[in-house]
Chain A
């Protein structure tokens, strides 16, 4: 497919467990973003990757959150020792080489539920 894909679609975990969320961007898109959407809220920026540059981690809410990306391919968002307040939809987006003003294309998201 040509769009952004994310897996899993839904994830239920117990408090204190670690989770990994995966994002496959559109081929050729060098910019990749992670956002969090809590119930009934807008999206909150978490982290940004652009090519081989150092990521912008300014939106990560705590040191339990981390993300990696290898080159211009797949990214994983890891949440360690999950808490109930981490329950949300995690959305990934990608855009082209010059992301200034360029459209960000979103994946369908991963709904995380922490019991």
Chain B
């Protein structure tokens, strides 16, 4: 079974600064997908970024980028120029591309607070 670990329960960052959220995972699979989801107080889970394991290039979406280290099974999220609207819970998630149901396995989340 896959596991996802987020070792930082809470983090804070000053507005306009950069912050990195950590995520490690454990799997014996070679083909899989990784995701970062954001959950603001509204409860709505919003996709931030996704990465295919077969791609060496790190995914980037505007101010959000990842550092994907496949050998180390690490998938960190970097948020640049942090904004107040980035305040939320952030969840790292794993999807085994060979599994029948393609369910997501989530970490426990990191609560990010952006300070004005």
Cross-chain contact A41 with B108 (CB below 8 angstroms): yes
Cross-chain contact A108 with B43 (CB below 8 angstroms): yes
B91 CB-CB contact with A under 8 Å: yes
B11 CB-CB contact with A under 8 Å: no
Q: Which of B45-53, B60-68, B76-84 contacts A (4 or more CB under 8 A)?
A: B45-53
Cross-chain contact A42 with B108 (CB below 8 angstroms): yes
Known A42-B108, A101-B52; contact A106-B44, beta-carbon cutoff 8 A: yes
B interface bracket (residues with beta carbon within 8 Å of A): 20 to 34
Q: Which of A48, A107, A108 contacts B101 (CB 8 A)?
A: A48
CB distance from B49 to the nearest CB of A (A): 10
Cross-chain contact A100 with B105 (CB below 8 angstroms): no
> Which of chain B's residues have a CB closer than 8 A to the CB of A108?
42-44
Alpha-carbon distance between A72 and B91 when the two chains are bound, in angstroms: 28
Alpha-carbon distance between A31 and B45 when the two chains are bound, in angstroms: 17
CB proximity to B under 8 Å, residues A29-44: 31, 33, 35, 40-44
Cross-chain contact B33 with A101 (CB below 8 angstroms): yes
Cross-chain contact A43 with B43 (CB below 8 angstroms): no
Q: Enumerate chain A interface residues (CB-CB to B < 8 A).
A: 31, 33, 35, 40-45, 48, 50, 56, 58-59, 89, 91, 93, 95, 99-109, 111
Q: Enumerate chain B interface residues (CB-CB to A < 8 A).
A: 4, 33, 35, 37, 42-47, 50, 52, 91, 93, 95, 97, 100-109
21 contacts between A and B (CB under 8 A): A33-B104, A35-B104, A40-B108, A42-B91, A42-B108, A44-B106, A45-B101, A45-B104, A58-B101, A89-B43, A99-B102, A100-B97, A101-B97, A101-B102, A103-B47, A106-B45, A106-B46, A108-B42, A108-B43, A108-B44, A109-B44
- Other A-B contacts than A45-B103, A50-B101, 7 sampled, CB-CB below 8 A, are A31-B102, A42-B107, A42-B108, A43-B104, A101-B50, A103-B47, A106-B37
